[in-house]
Amino acid sequence: MEGEDWIYPEKVKEHFINPRNFLFGDESQFDFDAVGQVGNPICGDQMKMYIQVDKKTDTIKDVRWKTYGCASAIASTSALSELAKGKTLDEALKISAKDIDDYLGNLPKHKFHCSVLGHEALKEAIENYRK
């Protein structure tokens, strides 16, 4: 069916319209332990991921993010933020773009790359925390 490759599953739409853990306003309002920032020069998307870490258990207590990106990047990062909460840093690093895509019910194929941006920002935040 023509145009079917642009159809977004309901869960993607829900995460785009009501993004989870989005950081509204000034970053100073969120007490974070590390931040990761990445960008995609091809599409122009930018992503910042802020994490709070429980130092005793090495788990992600809380996560917030900001983006300049499309609906797929917003939905994917919203989903990732939900998946990462409560995980150890090592477990969070294992969350793949495919895990995010599966959680959302599959992005359109040409938008799959959007699920990578949040993952890369989370990876950088964890690396920065460990430094």
Residue 70 a catalytic site member: no
Distances 2 to 6, 40, 102, 118 between C-alpha atoms, Å:
9, 28, 23, 30
Taking the alpha carbons at both ends of the chain, their separation in whole angstroms is 50
Residue 43 a catalytic site member: yes
CATH number of the domain within which 30 lies: 3.90.1010.10
Number of structural domains in the chain: 1
What residues make up the domain containing 109?
A: 4-130
Q: What is the pTM of this model?
A: 0.86
pLDDT in tens, 87-104: 999 999 999 988 988 888
Residue of 39, 43, 88, 99 marked active site: 43
Residue of 47, 84, 114, 125 marked active site: 114
pLDDT in tens, 10-63: 888 888 889 999 998 888 889 999 999 998 766 677 899 999 999 999 999 999
